[in-house]
Structure 1
């Protein structure tokens, strides 16, 4: 799969170089050229920022606006690429889901609590941090702590009704850190 991604990127890079070559009027310019404008178009860019979210009550929360507020300036500089969003915690999770109807968030929390019970009815051994701790770890593993989103023309390329959720699985949450890494051209 990685080979497919690399192969798909190579023609795009050549296309951009040719486009830049014709606009500069220099037909002899190539990918190996020392022309700075060509090098900038061909080379990948990276940006990274840690976003700290204030504590959220237990449940699923749409955080797309907060992420965009924190990284929007950097994101706008990418024509194409990928955003990797990584949550640095084991008792919360990230997912992409409905960004309009908050009933979906509530129903998702209800479902998670049903399939991963808490308290004495569950056989959890790890209870050092309270009865919600081990269920929080399992819920985190179900959704995961990382997302990859395509970037197109300086924006996340998600569907109309998609948004980034932070799913907080603890009764007494803390601030959560999310590392956003952008890579592209």
Structure 2
């Protein structure tokens, strides 16, 4: 796995009230900590420190995968964990640079779910030389891969809470490879928050 990174931080803006509310997670529930927010009507609000908004970006390359749905959560987290740990509250945006694979969030435990999802996709989107597709420049799996990619999409947004991706217990990030012979897949991960 290969990764490149960039990190940006915006300076604190202490003269304007916050246009958003910062939330802190407490035992899987989120509660607004309003005592730390500046009061727009107070003349002393400009003296309080406002958290700096941070940005980080990394490109992760997933090695070629066989056709099907693959859990890549641990690979993603490992690639971004150092930057991720610096965020208390924010968003992680994942963007896949390909039109014949896709990203989705689904079951992370039972491999039958991944198998059944691939079976469903193959039944819904016919494949082979007898299929009605005109676009077959790269073989009979070419156009079906593009359709499947559009069905699931190429981007995900996941909340960040206390330096971790805030996903459900049974949720995992899937890379769905829709080609018979997949290539390395690039995912750009952008983190922003405080």
Question: In 2, are the aligned partners of 1:31 and 1:42 still within 8 Å (CA)?
Answer: no
TM-score by length of 1: 0.82
**1:127 & 1:69 partners in 2: Cα distance?**
37
Tell me whether 1:16 sits opposite 2:39 in the alignment: no
Question: Which moved further from structure 2: 55-64 or 113-122?
Answer: 113-122
Equivalent residue in structure 2 for 1:166, among 166, 175, 192: 175
Deviation at 1:102, TM superposition (A): 0.7
Structure 2 stretches of 5 or more lacking a match? 1-17, 24-31
What is the match of residue 128 of structure 1?
Answer: 137
TM-score by length of 2: 0.79
More strand by share: 2
Question: In 2, are the aligned partners of 1:85 and 1:147 still within 8 Å (CA)?
Answer: yes
Assess, with a 3 A threshold, how the Cα gap between structure 1 residues 178 and 30 changes in structure 2: closer, same or farther: same
Higher relative contact order (CA closer than 8 Å, sequence separation 6+): 1
**1:10 & 1:166 partners in 2: Cα distance?**
31
Tell me whether 1:58 sits opposite 2:67 in the alignment: yes
What is the match of residue 98 of structure 1?
Answer: 107
Runs of 4 or more off by more than 4 Å in structure 1? 10-15
Assess, with a 3 A threshold, how the Cα gap between structure 1 residues 184 and 56 changes in structure 2: closer, same or farther: same
Question: Which moved further from structure 2: 145-154 or 113-122?
Answer: 113-122
Q: Secondary structure at the match of 2:123?
A: helix
